[in-house]
Amino acid sequence: MIVELEEEFRRRYHETSLIVVLLGAGRRGLELRRRIKRRLRREGIIALVPEDDFPPHIAPDLAERSMLRRGDVELVFVNVESWGSATEFGQFHMDEGIAPKLRVLVHHRHHPLHGRSRSYLTDVYLIHLAVHGHVYPYGRFGERGFLPVEEVV
């Protein structure tokens, strides 16, 4: 099944454009990712949202891991805003085929350099920042000094 998924991916997205995957929470987070996807598409960037673009009959973890390791996928944005997206980040942070592609988005309160949070997850952000870079703080609408997620991406 993974081979079929890879072949479908190659057929749909065989272009010279940048290909990124947008990961994060469901509900409002999913709507945000869909808005970002539309915005990136206008810029000529192919953005994939797994809930919309990966086949539902394959286990999400297997499909995501297989697709994110592909050479065609150049960047993987993960907005860590739920326990599920924190788990995804933790898994992919440990995967040498995916970790260098990760662009981690965290609320500035939880960012290891900008926030005051001291937790296991904040420590993992710091490790990722030290090894791979690309852990970006964001703010909500109206918070001074930090861009919203859409602008960071």
CATH of residue 68's domain is 3.40.50
**In this model, does residue 69 exceed pLDDT 90?**
no
Q: Are 13 and 46 in contact (CB under 8 A)?
A: yes
Report if residue 54 sits inside a domain. Answer: yes
Report if residue 75 sits inside a domain. Answer: yes
* pLDDT single digits (tens) 126-139: 999 999 999 999 99
Report if residue 131 sits inside a domain. Answer: no
Report if residue 121 sits inside a domain. Answer: no
Strand, coil or helix: 21? strand
**In this model, does residue 91 exceed pLDDT 70?**
yes
Domain of 70? 2-106
Averaged pLDDT score across all residues of the chain:
86
* pLDDT single digits (tens) 97-148: 999 999 999 999 999 998 888 889 999 999 999 999 999 999 987 677 888 9
> Could you give the count of Cα atoms lying within 13 Å of 119 in the half-sphere of its Cβ?
10
pLDDT at 6: 61
Report if residue 78 sits inside a domain. Answer: yes
pLDDT at 76: 95
User: For residues 138 and 1, what is the distance between their CA atoms, to the nearest angstrom?
Assistant: 37
* pLDDT single digits (tens) 22-44: 998 888 889 999 999 999 999 88
Question: Whole-prediction pTM value?
Answer: 0.83
Query: How many domains, the chain?
Result: 1
pLDDT at 26: 84
Report if residue 142 sits inside a domain. Answer: no
Q: Which of 129, 119, 122, 4 is nearest to 57 (CA)?
A: 4
